[in-house]
Each structure stands twice: as C-alpha cells, then as structure tokens.
A = this chain, B = another copy of it.
Amino acid sequence: MTHPEKLSIKQIRYFEAIADSGSFRRAADRLGVAQPTLTVQIAALEKSLNVSLFERQRSGVILTPIGRELLPRARRIAEELRGFSEQARDISGGSTYRMGVTRTLGPYLLPRVLPQLHKKFENLRLYVRESTPAQLGTELKSAVHDVVMTTLPLQGDELEIAPLFREPVKLAVPLEHALAQKRSVTGADLIGESVLTINEQHLYHKQVSDLCESLGATVNHDFEGTSLDTLRQMVVMGMGISFLPALYVASEIGDSGTPKITDVDGVTMSRDHALAWRRRSPHRVTFRQLADAIKEVVKADLTEEVTLI
C-alpha cells in the first residue's frame, strides 16, 4: 500500500506550505498554483501513505496528530533538497580534484606554485597523493586520480598530456670529496665514480643509471636512498656522489653549501614534467587552464631553476 516511488517533491512542498498557511486556498495563492492542484496532490499523498494529514474545516484545515508527526520529516527532506542544490551551486565553480604527483617533484614544486594558483582559481581544492611515474599513468587511466603531475614519458591515447617544463639535474658532492675542490667538473671527472641514487622502482633510478653508463661512472647498488632527502644525507655523510633535481636543490639545499652543488660541463641531464588527464574528463577545460596557469607561474618565478617547454 505504501509506495515510496509515488511520493513527489512537490507533494512534500505542498504539505509544508499548507501546514504553514492553515488553508489550501492561502497556500495555493502563496505557491502560485490553483487550489484544486493542492487538493488533488495532498489527497494522493494521503492515499500513498495511507494516513490523513489534515482535518478539513470550513475555516481551513488543521493538522491531524499524524500530520503533526510527519511535518518535521517533510521539513527535513525539503532542507536536504535545498542543501543538494546549494552544494551543487557552490561546487560548480570548482571541486576537490584528486591529483597524483611524483615524490621527486610534487613536494618541491607545489609550494612554489599553489599560492599563485589560488589567486587565479579561487575554488581550487586539491587532494594530493604521491606515487611513482609508472603507477601514475595507470592510476590516471583507472580514475584513481583526476589529474596527474608526472615526469615524462607518459603513454596513453586516452590521455591528454600538457608538457610543463624541463628540470635540470645537479651534481651533489660531499664537501671532503676531491671534486668539491675543483673549480669546474667535466664528464671525464666522473669516470669510475660511484653514484648514489634512489631505489629501482623510481624512474629517477633509470635516468641516473643511463647517465652513469654514458659517462663511465657506476651506480652504487649497495646503498640506495628511499627519497631525495635520504640521498642528500648519504652524500653529506661522504658515502658517494649523487645527482639531485634542480627544484629539490633550490627548495631543500639553497645556499647552504652542504653538500657541494655543481653542474657537469658539457653534460646535460634533465627531466621533462607534464600535467595529464583523461581526454573525456568533464573537467578537461579546467585542467587545461590549470596547466597554462602553472606554466605562467614557472615563467614568472622559476626560470633560474627550470626551462619552459
């Protein structure tokens, strides 16, 4: 007999309005509908619920005891519906996007660009999670993230990839190391050197391995860092030399002088970073705008460290 599917939002609004007005006619005037509309709809509501909500009198209507008990519930439903619409209105200017980032870039770039981004996107909210570049691509395709900031290469016809900038890598040398005393370092100086890096599951490991191979240096497999911070500490402690990304250097080392930071003459190693999202994402326009905005911030503030591409 009671059938939830037969309820309608208008019936609930009519119930509320009549209870407030104490009269079908007055409620109809207020709502801008014809009085028989209310009569028919309330009768339908009463029938579907199998209760009487109002006692009809010549001078209007009064709530029955049942009507009195159900009215607060009707009000709550009306309130929840208002909240639904209002939240949608609030959100349509921006939602909470899930952003995946690499741990070798995210923590050192986002603090540099987010303040400026918030000036441009007032409602931007990001839920940032770290992952490896290999996993970030898969996770983006399967919607674990809405958008990712990662190191190229990244594959996927279904993805939209917006290149951001090229980040060079610096050589980090212990202060007591012979190379620290040299005015300039060349590739030949690295032959035979043992180079520390972070562990194998990171793209960064592969990039350093390839560089070492081309230079005649060797990758230290006995000691591997789990993050750029631990890598730096190992260098400071004299366990070997290492390569560190420029943004990390700018963010965490700066002018401290520890370890010694230098370029390698005639050798260029760098990493290209990009923002990526699914082509069919309803937010793809926003993400395109976000990529453009990041590039503008980089152009304005970070050209000492990185290069736009």
Which stretch from A83-91, A211-219, A230-238 is at the chain B interface?
A83-91
Flag A80-104 by CB within 8 Å of B: 1 or 0 each: 1111110111011001111000000
B contact residues around A96 at 8 Å (CB): 65, 68-69
Nearest chain B CB to A27's CB is how many angstroms away?
16
Q: How far is A57 from B57 in the complex, measured between Cα atoms in Å?
A: 57
In contact, A92 and B66 (Cβ under 8 angstroms): yes
Which stretch from A47-55, A159-167, A187-195 is at the chain B interface?
A47-55
* CB-CB nearest in chain B for A86: B2
In contact, A77 and B80 (Cβ under 8 angstroms): yes
Which A residues, 243 to 286, have Cβ-Cβ distances below 8 Å to chain B?
Answer: 278, 280-283
Knowing A57-B280, A64-B283, A280-B56 are in contact, say whether A84-B74 is a contact too (CB < 8 A): yes
In contact, A92 and B4 (Cβ under 8 angstroms): no
Asked if A119 CB lies within 8 Å of chain B CBs, one says no
In contact, B49 and A4 (Cβ under 8 angstroms): no
B contact residues around A181 at 8 Å (CB): none
In contact, A84 and B70 (Cβ under 8 angstroms): yes
In contact, B73 and A83 (Cβ under 8 angstroms): yes
B contact residues around A76 at 8 Å (CB): 80
Asked if A40 CB lies within 8 Å of chain B CBs, one says no
Q: How far is A70 from B85 in the complex, measured between Cα atoms in Å?
A: 9
In contact, A91 and B73 (Cβ under 8 angstroms): no
In contact, B146 and A88 (Cβ under 8 angstroms): no
B contact residues around A2 at 8 Å (CB): 85, 88-89
* CB-CB nearest in chain B for A64: B282
Asked if A44 CB lies within 8 Å of chain B CBs, one says no
Asked if A143 CB lies within 8 Å of chain B CBs, one says yes
In contact, B280 and A95 (Cβ under 8 angstroms): no
Knowing A52-B282, A84-B77 are in contact, say whether A97-B9 is a contact too (CB < 8 A): no
In contact, B55 and A278 (Cβ under 8 angstroms): yes
Of the A-B pairs whose beta carbons lie under 8 Å apart in the complex, a sample of 10, sorted by A's number, is A2-B88, A4-B81, A7-B81, A8-B9, A49-B92, A57-B280, A73-B87, A77-B81, A77-B84, A80-B80
Q: 7 tightest A-B contacts by CB?
A: A52-B282, A65-B95, A49-B88, A62-B143, A66-B95, A4-B85, A77-B80
